[in-house]
Structure 1
């Protein structure tokens, strides 16, 4: 798949960034949020374009956006605020190299023909840099608004994917799903390159189904030890279903401390650490089998622009494709 090797090198790990590009969950960021009257979990997106272009120029492999249709104060998280598909269209024109991923679009909430067309549009506009991450959705408030039964989510997830995959074919036949259609009714544009499918969590499916149907598995943040056990299950499922190696993807909620030499202090979904100790920590995840790690900076004591600079200078060179030796390339 075009550009997918920017994300995936067997036995190695690449680094990405997860939106929103604001440190509104840090002490300083939370103080600023209160002063500006924003609800908890609503980030400041003022500098988002400058920051994503900074990540692009620095050589991060990907940026990931999430879909949050409505803000629920019980969750306290508005993600990156902007509509997922519309925003990716904007980012595809504003960036050059970085992969654009969704982690994840809530598939059961979407009309699948419309989502198939939108995904193919982003794939075309980005010249093959789109990664389609789909998820089940876990916010009960959303489903009654869409008049969708919460318990129907796993079935809808599978059905919608089949419809999208059919719509992407050069000569699709949608009559199995929509018997009333006349012959020749089709969906355009078609993807210029196959769209990599990444499943977030289990999405109500078995790990065997994910191994067969997806091109990668985006799993929730865990400790290196817990991650190793999850990645082992993934490799076993791939082997049992006669599948080639596929990337195991995860995220890390990083509080990049202002003390560059600070030791690691774990917190939920990640931890606090100085940049000079970060490479060693991420290498533990690489050894645990993570192929791609998305760094989430909302808790960072270091402002996002400075954090990206530090990570790009000190950490990223250890995880970029350009650091692969000729010997590694011949083996892999």
Structure 2
């Protein structure tokens, strides 16, 4: 199992000092990845805890990758309907190219009605828009001779690095179907083995029916709040369900609390890997 750390892009702690030092310490600690969320337009009545301050995820990942050498950088999750397919694919290709292939692409359909309204989008169409965006991204990264067509216009999609691993977020049946159709894996909500188990079973079945290999699964939660043994038992249970990536997140408020959270994670990682 690989382990990642969820970096907050919201609130005053989303600044160059905390993010820059945080990602470097995650890399030094031997973690496999850092992950960031996606918000674009927080309304005043829903800004508690962030003050409406949110950094852009793709721009942030490019910056984080530039300050590191090995650690992977990923979205958990990029809201596909928020951005047009072509510039999204171009941004993804750019980060993948300049980072040396370290991008992880978690994608979701979104949920916050206010953000859809601010963007002039019909929230009811978010599933269809997501499918169209994912289809375009897949086509762009597999285009013969790098030639892609958008709105009847042919163009060269270059650079065309290796397609990033794509994770489909969500727990609804549509998310599992979308993961089997477009993704390399699934990013469910939470880290409860009992809740993830049925979806994992269905996902493996869908991949098998489609003649694909075994899927990846990324669970997310917070380690260190429970006792060591309870955390290790949870990780063992998740691993038995096919979970290949664990994303640790916490509500840290500054660099010191981020580092304490990182220490809690690394202690669990070391114990888990020793036991395994």
TM band (smaller chain) = 0.7 to 0.9
Contact kept in structure 2, 1:19 and 1:80, CA below 8 Å: no
Equivalence for 2:84:
111
Q: Could you state the TM-score of these two structures normalised by the residue count of structure 1? A: 0.72
Report the 3-state secondary structure (helix = DSSP H, G, I; strand = E; otherwise coil) of the residue aligned with 2:221.
Answer: strand
Equivalence for 2:160:
190
Match status 1:150 vs 2:119: no
Report the 3-state secondary structure (helix = DSSP H, G, I; strand = E; otherwise coil) of the residue aligned with 1:197.
Answer: strand
- Distance change >3 Å, CA 310–CA 202, structure 1 → 2: closer
Distance in 2, matches of 1:241 and 1:293, equals: 26
Distance in 1, matches of 2:74 and 2:55, equals: 14
Distance in 2, matches of 1:298 and 1:80, equals: 15
Unaligned runs of 5+ in 2: none
Contact kept in structure 1, 2:57 and 2:78, CA below 8 Å: yes
What CA RMSD, in Å, does the superposition of the two structures yield over aligned residues? 2.8
Distance in 1, matches of 2:173 and 2:127, equals: 5
Using CA pairs under 8 Å that are at least 6 residues apart, name the structure with larger relative contact order, 1 or 2: 1
Listed one character per residue, the Cα deviations across residues 29-56 of structure 1 (whole Å, up to 9, x for unaligned) are xxxxxxxxxxxx6252342211111111
Bigger Rg, structure 1 or 2: 1
Given candidates 62, 67, 78, the residue that maps to 1:94 is 67
Equivalence for 2:183:
214
Number of aligned residue pairs: give it.
269
Match status 1:242 vs 2:211: yes
- Displacement of 1:275 in angstroms is 4.7
Distance in 2, matches of 1:229 and 1:110, equals: 32
Listed one character per residue, the Cα deviations across residues 48-82 of structure 1 (whole Å, up to 9, x for unaligned) are 21111111111111111111002234374659832
Equivalence for 2:268:
315
Q: Which has the higher helix share?
A: 2
- Displacement of 1:235 in angstroms is 1.4
Q: Could you state the TM-score of these two structures normalised by the residue count of structure 2? A: 0.86
